[in-house]
Structure 1
Amino acid sequence: MKETDISQSTPKTGDLLVVFTAGIGLFLSTLDSGMINIALPTLSQTFHSSLTTMAWTVTLYSLTLTGTIIIFGRLSDRFGRLRIYSLGLILFSVASVCCGFSRTAGQLIAFRALQGIGAAMLQATAIAIITTTIPEKRRSTALASLAVIMGIGPVLGPSIGGVIISLGGWPWMFWINLPIAAAGLVGCRSLSVVITEKHSSIELHIKGNLLLSFSILCLLQGFSTWSSTGFFSPWTYGSFGAFIVLFLGFVVYELHVKFPIIDLRLFRKGAFTAPILAIFIFGGATSIGFIVPPYFLERVACLEPWKAGLVNLFGPLGLVLCSSVSARLIPHWGNTRMMLKGMFAMFISYIVLGQMQANWSPWVIAAFMFLYGLGGGLFLTPNMKSIMESVGQEIQGTIGAVQRMVQNLGIAIYTAIAIVLIPGHSSTGTADLLAGLQRSWDFAALSILAGILVFLGNRRNSKSS
């Protein structure tokens, strides 16, 4: 097939359609995660299963999403991003229908795994659809709009999930995905008429994809069992051991193939490594912001759940508000300075929250979570832009999948660490619970600081060279 530069074939008036279409996939996956979390008690009662069992509806979804996302990013470069994205919408819809008709916990868990594969197809291609369709001079605005959509999902998920469960029953929590996915398919159809996708002839190397996917699955399984059965459980260190063996096998294999999935030489460049490390930290630190406040607000401040949920909205709200203006600041500050300013705001927020006391007002938590969200809004758009610009147009699907995979890994790993820290300090009263919450904030703050130092070191090396 003749290769065409599609970034020059989309008029400015079509940017909204591109962002809308690409954003639907990210919105669906984040909305669905928020709804399922709030539905776990209801699902546990419905299927007469423990919360531990029903939690696999979340865990397995995350495992299949993160473990297969690189494969679909690679396939999208070879066969077309819109094609893989459309198939993802269809698979996500079919899995949603099946989830709603599940009659046992096992069926629901299995269909959630299938839904995770559909979500991987969507997340692997969404950013690449924008970066390969919209010209560079308008790309920052489009990516900022995508960041807003990504921030809306976590805001609406718990609220919509609660309303649906109360009014229509838990199956509608999955069936509501159908009209949204249908709108996405209409968008894909409309885009396919006006653009010609650029396909890559690069080889797939299934062996490398499988090694990477299974290594990631073992890593996530290790953190999952660590938080539930302890580090010295055979399942925990066995999973970590399998991860090490498989990942080393992946690295060796990638160094000896002509067309690797991820060109490992990219990691020699600070301009690529720093943003990749930063998105991992951002994903993890943001998950801390969703996990820790409810513990404090409900168990220490004794707020009703709906009030705690309201306070928890301030972080995503800040991200949405600041993302909407971040594109205008990139030409003045540049990608790196924007990311540094955002990370500094996030660091200040978490280092203060690490000093939280039992008598703190919930509005203090809300204010600093809002500051964190503002920092996240400054950070996310230039981060996506930096990572996607580090490679050519022919592998935008792959590198977009890497960006999402690394962010999801950060979310999963930091969540497991927070679960380990918090229960270990909550068994003997408020003081010990607060100690666990403070350590969670401090851990996230120190990791953000490490990311800042990496950026500063990279800038210093760039100037000296």
Structure 2
Amino acid sequence: MTGKLNIEQANSSAVSDLFVVIIAGIGLLLSTLDTGIINVALPTLVHVFQSSLTAMSWTITLYTLALTGTIVLFGRLSDHYGHLTIYVLGLILFALSSMLCGIAQSVSELIAFRILQGIGAAMLQATSAALITTIIPESRRGPALGTLGILLGLGPVLGPSVGGTILSMVSWRFIFFINLPIVAVALFGCRRLKRIVQEKRQDVHLNVAGNVLLSFSILSLLLSLSAIGDATLVAILLFLLFALLIGGFTLRELRISSPILNLKLFRNRQFALAMLAVFFFGGATSIGFIVPPYFLETVRHLSAWQSGLVNLSAPLGLMGFSRLSGKRLGQVGAKRLMGIGLTVMVVAYGVLSQMGVAWSPLLLASLLFVYGAGAGIFVPANLSAIMGAVGRETQGTIGAVQRMVQNLGIAIDTAIAVVLIRMHSGVGSEGLMVGFRAAWGYAAGTLGLTLLLFAWLAIKVRLRQRV
């Protein structure tokens, strides 16, 4: 086929759905892969640069800050200039910053280049879902979103294992260089997509002031969370700054004609609940990656690789059920699938909240797999509900907001889990178990609250239909 297609008319004869999903999913894979890889490499980097763990941890913190603080801006820019255009620029920046990280000669250089990498990751995460929802027709979108969920689950699975393998075989620099061939494959695919589909530029107001307010408010919140426990006064002041900035952002967005996100969407209870659900889902999933290694290595005295195998269970469950959920979207509906997914996750974490010292790794792995299965059912349905709430002209923005909300849930619940564990860390294994059970119970409670709200809304709708 030689001519270009309008992006709204792309069909399977021009480009396969799977091809689009893989190219779009590479961005999500890269951005999540790099967090897990560098987590494993922190001790090595501390030794190589003769630095401290506190200083080196900024390579993770500032990457996350740059990603979360700028993601909505790039979602907005992609709606204006084209999702594929911003995605390609994100791939280029991610590759360039990865190369710079790999040749860094000092801690300050590595931190600076990781900030650039976080910005590149924001460009990729902001546009991945929008590429699928604007290129693939709605009738075939469910399976595509299910496959995207699989790629999303691959990052946490591959990060630690790939990072550990690289560190054991070659230089630490290759944990960054490994991104380059993956980006090359994605750029080749994007080149093909550009030949086939033609994106329409949308007449979207960029709203620079609103983006600045939102970015700085998110940065303030994340910095306040990172200061909890070490600098309480600083954490409080930063949280107050966040409250001031987010309040100013909200007031401004309600008054202008071209807001970043139409806040009136939250009057739609289904949309508001879908956003609340992805926030709590992000947080609950982060607890699933924090508590098991701590329990297995501190209480059960397993090695790091054995602990890593157990932690693979949840992502494997997510990958296994995401495709199935996507295929069932058209028949069952997003609301019902979200409810089923939430139910499964609440049950799994509810049982985990009763965790005991003598629990076997196999039992823990089984419950994590069940949670992952619920997550796999939930993710495609949630993404479909949120992306379907707005028109084609703001798919990039809404996709970026969805990822930002999930990342905020991860950051907040990570801080809460660390605090709960620290509170009981000085009183032996039984004390630690109290902290672990509290973390699982908190996550189950937040997901359960969301499930109850979904059930209440469903009952209310049925009562209205009867009347």
- What TM-score range do you get, normalising by the shorter chain? over 0.9
Question: What's the counterpart of residue 10 of structure 1?
Answer: 11
* CA displacement at 1:47 relative to structure 2: 1.2
Please, which of 154, 165, 168 is the counterpart of residue 167 of structure 2? 165
Answering whether residue 338 of structure 2 is matched by residue 339 of structure 1, we say: yes
Partner of 2:111, secondary structure, is helix
Question: What's the counterpart of residue 325 of structure 2?
Answer: 326
Q: Could you tell me which amino acid in structure 1 is paired with residue 328 of structure 2?
A: L
CA distance in 2, matches of 1:114, 1:238: 27
CA distance in 2, matches of 1:55, 1:343: 33
Question: What's the counterpart of residue 51 of structure 2?
Answer: 49
- Matched-pair contact (CA < 8 Å) for 1:7–1:131: no
CA distance in 2, matches of 1:422, 1:393: 44
Question: What's the counterpart of residue 394 of structure 2?
Answer: 395
- Matched-pair contact (CA < 8 Å) for 1:41–1:51: yes
CA distance in 1, matches of 2:359, 2:70: 43
- Matched-pair contact (CA < 8 Å) for 1:279–1:407: yes
Q: Would you say how many aligned residue pairs link Structure 1 and Structure 2? A: 459
Counting only pairs closer than 5 Å after superposition, residues 99-118 of structure 1 correspond to structure 2 as 99-118=101-120
Normalised by the length of structure 2, the TM-score is 0.97
- Matched-pair contact (CA < 8 Å) for 1:227–1:417: no
- Matched-pair contact (CA < 8 Å) for 1:351–1:442: yes
Normalised by the length of structure 1, the TM-score is 0.97
Q: Could you tell me which amino acid in structure 1 is paired with residue 302 of structure 2?
A: L
Q: Could you tell me which amino acid in structure 1 is paired with residue 262 of structure 2?
A: D
Counting only pairs closer than 5 Å after superposition, residues 229-308 of structure 1 correspond to structure 2 as 229=231, 233-308=232-307
Question: What's the counterpart of residue 443 of structure 1?
Answer: 442
Q: Could you tell me which amino acid in structure 2 is paired with residue 132 of structure 1?
A: T
Superposition RMSD in Å: 1.1
CA distance in 1, matches of 2:329, 2:11: 22
Counting only pairs closer than 5 Å after superposition, residues 174-253 of structure 1 correspond to structure 2 as 174-229=176-231, 233-253=232-252
Partner of 1:245, secondary structure, is helix
Structure 1 residues not aligned, in runs of 5+: none
CA distance in 2, matches of 1:312, 1:160: 14
* C-alpha spacing 1:5/1:387, structure 2 compared with 1 (3 Å): farther
Superimposed CA distance per residue, residues 124-148 of structure 1 (whole angstroms, 9 cap, x where no aligned partner): 0000000000000100011101100
CA distance in 2, matches of 1:207, 1:464: 44
Report which stretch shifted further, 427-436 or 112-121.
427-436
Question: What's the counterpart of residue 72 of structure 2?
Answer: 70
Counting only pairs closer than 5 Å after superposition, residues 398-409 of structure 1 correspond to structure 2 as 398-409=397-408
Q: Percent identity over the alignment? A: 52
Q: Could you tell me which amino acid in structure 2 is paired with residue 212 of structure 1?
A: L
* CA displacement at 1:324 relative to structure 2: 2.0
Superimposed CA distance per residue, residues 324-372 of structure 1 (whole angstroms, 9 cap, x where no aligned partner): 2112222332111111111111001111111111111111100100000
* CA displacement at 1:17 relative to structure 2: 1.7
Superimposed CA distance per residue, residues 90-126 of structure 1 (whole angstroms, 9 cap, x where no aligned partner): 0011110111111111111111111000000000000
* CA displacement at 1:315 relative to structure 2: 0.6
* CA displacement at 1:15 relative to structure 2: 1.2
CA distance in 1, matches of 2:92, 2:76: 19
Q: Could you tell me which amino acid in structure 2 is paired with residue 242 of structure 1?
A: L
CA distance in 2, matches of 1:107, 1:127: 32
Q: Could you tell me which amino acid in structure 2 is paired with residue 213 of structure 1?
A: S
Partner of 1:132, secondary structure, is helix
- Matched-pair contact (CA < 8 Å) for 1:68–1:120: yes
- Matched-pair contact (CA < 8 Å) for 1:10–1:194: no
Q: Could you tell me which amino acid in structure 2 is paired with residue 415 of structure 1?
A: T
Counting only pairs closer than 5 Å after superposition, residues 93-104 of structure 1 correspond to structure 2 as 93-104=95-106
* CA displacement at 1:402 relative to structure 2: 0.5
